[in-house]
Structure 1
């Protein structure tokens, strides 16, 4: 997809500064006590600009979904700050969040569990309007029917129940619900991972069209790098609770610097047609992902990295611009890879 077809990001809209979320681990007998913490998100910086599509990628369990729920204030942060349009909403109460909630919406991963099976489509989509006391011109029912048409569903589906729809149609209902309050930013948490491959493209194209037409900013969370490449202008790569690389789509996919990013990209299937060169080498990482309860010291990727040195065990690398990288292309590695995908060498 051409960059020119995507809207350009404007001023910072949703900002995370050293955002942290630790979940306590309980143990002991007879009284449960805190014996540790799952460091799901451990001090990340992230900025989503107005009107842009920002991708957040990484392996399962790296903290992507937790980050999305923190930014939408569905979870309370353990530390750090969340700014929306310059206002600190990190620990804002219900009253202070009331005017902000409609502008930050979420599309959930599983279209089968995120919709109430006892409610009609009309009730599901109009629910946010009812909760926020919004009466659009022409009434809520007319607005719901308009939204259903916007996401490619028949307005006559207003009185149907979720079980009467396919997975892709259910996710479209979830998109319509997220759009009901005319948000400025939508956090899409793995919106296509639970769908058949044949349906994924339809939902992705829908989200792209809505972004172009409505100017909504998207935080697109996914583990599928091919999908993120198709929809995002900027991308952040996350590993074990921390962001290890961030930059434009072209920088991340064409000139990655962090070894973990190289490993992720090497796993993306690429067909070789007509004998057009040797197949790309797959990087096979050593060992398993460490536990977020006791992450490695220093660089968290060092236990699986082929470039690890003694320095990596004692000093956590900062997220900075590496020599030879473009402006805004940051990586957290003491020994970054050359800025090319042809230099990959697996372990």
Structure 2
């Protein structure tokens, strides 16, 4: 069942300049025509380089930002431009886990107050009371319930991220947008947090939009993966199909950079992209990856490649490339 659907989603931020009168001189094309679907109880991984629009897409999905164009459908309801009042009954069902586990927690509040906050705001009265629910959530995420009166600075980075997860679970959401939830953590702690999220998904049936730049983590946790470049989706498919048979040159380059242990001294060939990522204020015409692509031809500058299923690919494996890899 489709829980979240993003259709033709766009988000442009104005760029202002000039003196003495400031005026709009351009637009940042942060998200430019994104189509994504998240199914109930499953995880869609969203990967790409820093600055490609992943976090903005996540905030649009959670309606923390209003889209410039396109639609956000949640459980069949169009919430693209819904008012704060209209969003109020939906807010508890869509929660966020933020990238920085410290700056997203109020340092003046105790852990108990942080986790209880969403319940206070939404008037949720769980069986047994809010305080009992807070302690239960701490136990669910692997923290000592007796630490309910401690402050965020008294915890490690991994423990603070668990507090953020407990806060996201407080309202029993159906969808969690996890924005780089493990990027600020050590590798061993990353594994603990990802395994925790996987267990919560199996036990509670929560759907995730999992945003990350670590493809190994995304493969471990996601059923489907979308690759984003400069505001657009360039390839999407189930994890097995996409990781074993990437069709877009950008996806191939990303996968070549994933560290691997070569037993016989071999291993995959590393693809080094040339040039810098173009500015989202003035993106290239046609295919936005063409300025760094070794397969680009004249057609790539003239026509934007559609996101389509190529011959031989599985259902749901879509690629936006005029000259895909075989």
TM-score, L = length of structure 2:
0.99
Alignment partner, residue 289 of structure 1: 277
Alignment partner, residue 123 of structure 1: 113
Alignment partner, residue 326 of structure 1: 314
Alignment partner, residue 23 of structure 1: 13
Deviation of residue 223 (structure 1)?
Answer: 0.2
Confirm or deny that 1:252 pairs with 2:236: no
The counterpart of 1:317, out of the listed 286, 301, 305, is 305
TM-score, L = length of structure 1:
0.93
Alignment partner, residue 48 of structure 1: 38
1:159 alignment partner, SS class: coil
Confirm or deny that 1:155 pairs with 2:145: yes
Alignment partner, residue 57 of structure 2: 67
Separation in structure 2 between the aligned mates of residue 328 and residue 207 of structure 1, nearest angstrom: 25
Cα deviation 1:109-128 (Å, max 9, x = unaligned): 00010000000000000000
1:82-231 residue pairs with structure 2 within 5 A? 82-231=72-221
Separation in structure 1 between the aligned mates of residue 311 and residue 126 of structure 2, nearest angstrom: 53
Cα deviation 1:295-314 (Å, max 9, x = unaligned): 00000000000100100000
Separation in structure 1 between the aligned mates of residue 262 and residue 61 of structure 2, nearest angstrom: 40
2:285 alignment partner, SS class: coil
Where structure 2 has 5 or more consecutive residues not aligned to the other structure, the ranges are none
Deviation of residue 279 (structure 1)?
Answer: 2.5
Separation in structure 2 between the aligned mates of residue 133 and residue 188 of structure 1, nearest angstrom: 24
Q: Give the paired residue count.
A: 326
Deviation of residue 152 (structure 1)?
Answer: 0.2
1:56 alignment partner, SS class: strand
Deviation of residue 278 (structure 1)?
Answer: 2.4
Alignment partner, residue 342 of structure 1: none
Separation in structure 2 between the aligned mates of residue 227 and residue 289 of structure 1, nearest angstrom: 24
Q: Which 4+ stretches in 1 moved above 3 angstroms?
A: none
2:148 alignment partner, SS class: helix
Where structure 1 has 5 or more consecutive residues not aligned to the other structure, the ranges are 1-10, 339-347
Separation in structure 2 between the aligned mates of residue 132 and residue 31 of structure 1, nearest angstrom: 43
